[in-house]
A and B are shown apart, each in its own frame.
Chain A
Amino acid sequence: MSLLIDAWTVLAVFSGVFFFLAGTVGLLRFPDALTRLHALTKADNLGLGLIVFGLLPQAVDVWMALKLIVIWLLVLIAGAVVSQRVARVARAQESGQ
C-alpha cells in the first residue's frame, strides 16, 4: 500500500516538474509577451498543482494537507489576477512602441 502511495507521489511530482519545464521553455522561447504569459500559467496551475497533488498523501496530518491545498489555491487566484494585469502592461508596451 505504502509503495503504491509513494509511486503516486513520484509520478505526480515529476509530472509537475515537467510542467515547470514547459513553463520555463515557453517563457524563454515564445516570441512575444502574451504567448509567454500563456506558458507561465502552465507552471503556476499544473506544475505546482501536480506537485501539491503528489505530496498530499505524504502529509503527516490533516492540517498539513489543508495548507498544501491553500498554497495551491493562493497561487492559482494570484496567477489569474496578476496575469490579467501583466497582459495589460504587455499591451501598453506593444502599442507604445
Chain B
Amino acid sequence: MADLLLWAAVIVLALTAAGLLRLLRGPGAADRIMAGQLFGTGGAAVLLLLGAGGAYAAIDVALTLALLSAFVSLTFAVYAGRAGTRQALGRGEE
C-alpha cells in the first residue's frame, strides 16, 4: 500500500515537473504563473501522498504550502497584471 502511494507521488511529481516546461517556454507571465501554480498543487499532492505513507508531518507541510501558495500565486498574478499593462514584464524580453 505505502509503496503504491509512493509510486503515485513519483508520477504526480514527474507530471507536474513536465508542466514546468511551460515555465521555460512561457511565452507570457500568465503561462509562467500557471506552471508555478500547477507545481504548487502537485507539490501539495506529493506531500499528502508521502504523509499518508507514514510521514505524518508532511500533512502539516502540505497545509502550510496550500495556504501560502494561494498567497504567492495571487501576488504574482496581481503584480504581473499591473506590470503587464506597462509592458514591463508581461512578455519575454526581446
Contact = CB atoms under 8 A, between A and B. Distances in A.
Interface in B1-31: 1, 4-5, 8, 11-12, 15-16, 18-19, 21-22, 28-31
Contacts, number: 158
Q: Which DSSP category, helix, strand, loop or mixed, fits chain B's interface?
A: helix
A37 B70 contact: no
Interface residues of B, number: 48
B59 A64 contact: yes
Contacts of A87: 30
A40 B56 contact: no
B49 A13 contact: yes
Contacts of B15: 17, 20-21, 23-24
Interface of B: 1, 4-5, 8, 11-12, 15-16, 18-19, 21-22, 28-31, 33-35, 37-38, 41-42, 44-45, 48-49, 52, 56, 59-60, 62-63, 66-67, 69-70, 73-74, 77-78, 80-81, 84-85, 87, 90-91
Interface of A: 6, 9-10, 13-14, 16-17, 20-21, 23-24, 27-28, 33, 36-37, 40, 43-44, 47-48, 51-52, 55, 58-60, 64, 67-68, 70-71, 74-75, 77-79, 81-82, 85-90, 92-93, 96-97
